[in-house]
Chains A and B, each alone.
Chain A
Amino acid sequence: MVRLVLAAFLGFALMVADHRYQYLETVRGSLSVLVYPFYYLANLPDTLLHRVQGRLADDEVLRRDLAALQRENLLLRARMQRFESLEAENRRLRDLLGSSVRVGERVLIAELLAVDLNPYRHHLLIDKGARAGVFVGQPVVDARAVMGQVVRADPLTARVLLITDVEHSLPVEVLRNGLRAIASGTGLINQLELPHLPKNADIRVGDLLVTSGLGGRFPAGYPVARVATVDSEPGNAFATVTAEPLARLDRSREVLLVWIPSSSEHAAGDPSEHSLNEAPER
């Protein structure tokens, strides 16, 4: 009985300390190093499977993949040429206007560890951690769009909160007209919602939503989602708008970590700040 009381007391003390204050980050960090071998072992079957699949792949398939990738590379390069000249022009114009500009974001490729963490939350584990310079609040994107942000940076691994998690919201704007909104996660992997948009807001199905850069967490201009439905029910004060994330949230194996040069110092601040983008709406 004494031991139970002791354990209960310890448990409550830990929870309060973890919930109210951020004292336990170091404890969590060192425990996470302790569980790293388990992550590694649990991830092993998946890695081996992929390796074997790579070995067994057909010549024909590989050649076709290679050809497709070369074509895509050519297309992207051609687009890149235009992009570079546009970027230079943009910088010149901004110089003329005397406004500051952020260019030259640094990125790092990280691989997902195939482990199941918490079935009710949209978390990912990636194989780069604080040692690789990952910090809390860092934006994570894949080849198509924004995926989420880092919520914990342990020495060897980092935990990413996806944009579809119920606790996540991010500021976006409609690319077509610059209408600002908040995209909140719904807990469904293929749906975001845009709450508090007035019924007469100029938003249509198919509109591309990009990050607006407000809040300072995500760099501006990354694609996020495409508007899927716009409903205005007579009973509701606001329009009901849902959007479908463009990132392959449940299928990507590799993600990109982004460093924004001019704003990284305030994003790298204290971990308690990570509630900044997570509006506690629900």
Chain B
Amino acid sequence: MTKRTRRGGGVILATLAVAMILTLLPMPDWSVPYRPPWIALTLLYWVLAVPERVGVFSAFGLGLLLDVVSANLLGQQALSLAVMAYLAEVLHRRIRLFPPLQQTLSIWMLLLVERLLFLWLLVATGQPLPPPVYWAGTVTGMLLWPWLFVVLRDLRRRFRVA
């Protein structure tokens, strides 16, 4: 691989940090299950945009932090995010070219895969099963995607992250 200019690592880290804060920010009790998966969404954007820089291992590291935050088994969220990032990486050429609606739906699919894997790991390790509203986060995440996409794309263009 030829030497490429790698710019804007700080921007990627900053957006992920903001996503982390949004994940932790206290919200009214009723809205908590509907909190969009900020980290997964931001991660998906960067994997689709710059797959050679943000990939499986970045996802794994972020998942590890999330595991510490929510007292999961270490590696649980890390594994599910890593698999999601891998799928996004494999499909990134296609998803980039999709029209907006189709792209949003494919993002939803990826979020669902992540939640499904996470649920499976919960069950496999004998932890208490979450209620069905567990899936609601993927829907809010999907609805949020078009806006998040625009914001992050503008950020990427302004700071010329490549």
Contacts and interface: CB of A to CB of B under 8 A. Distances in A.
Interface of A: 3-4, 7-8, 10-15, 17-19, 24, 27-28, 31-32, 34-35, 38-39, 41-43, 45-46, 114-121, 123, 151-152, 159, 166-167, 187, 250, 282
Given A12-B79, A18-B74, A32 B128 contact: no
A69 B156 CA distance: 55
A123 B17 contact: no
Interface in B72-99: 72-76, 78-79, 82-83, 86
A187 B65 contact: no
Contact of A31 (B29, B35, B57, B64): B64
Interface in B26-56: 26-27, 29, 32-33, 35, 55-56
B60 interface: yes
Nearest to B70: A118
B78 A120 contact: no
Given A8-B83, A38-B17, A41-B21, A3 B74 contact: no
B25 A7 contact: no
Contacts of B151: none
B10 interface: no
A14 B71 contact: no
A7 B82 contact: yes
B60 A11 contact: yes
B123 interface: no
A34 to B, nearest CB: 7
B65 A10 contact: no
B64 A8 contact: no
B29 A7 contact: no
A10 B78 CA distance: 9
B27 A11 contact: no
A15 B122 CA distance: 11
Contacts of B79: 7-8, 11-12, 15
